[in-house]
Amino acid sequence: MGATPGSTWQVLEKHKPPRLLPQSPDEALQFLVRFMPMARRTVQADGLTIFNIRY
């Protein structure tokens, strides 16, 4: 009790280093592909639908 978030972070960081974002463009692309999948859509005369919402 009484520990600050910063001091707790430092203690935990010594036991297990934090995971960092990718350093190279290839790794960044793989990150996007794994965690933010994209769905291509085409704009029609009456709009487009994404996630069951008509725009």
d(CA 55, CA 46): 8
With respect to residue 49, please indicate whether it lies within any of the assigned structural domains: no
Residue 44 forms part of a structural domain: no
Q: Return the SS3 of 18.
A: coil
Domain that holds residue 26: 1-39
Instruction: Give this prediction's pTM.
Output: 0.33
Residue 50 lies in a domain: no
For residue 10, being part of any structural domain is answered with: yes
Q: What is the pLDDT of residues 20-30, one digit of tens each?
A: 777 788 887 88
Number of separate domains in the chain: 1
Cβ-based neighbours of 11, under 8 Å, separated by 6 or more: 3
Determine the average pLDDT of the residues in 13-42.
80
Examine residue 45 and state whether it is found in any structural domain, yes or no. no
In a domain, 26, yes or no: yes
Average pLDDT (8-28) is 83
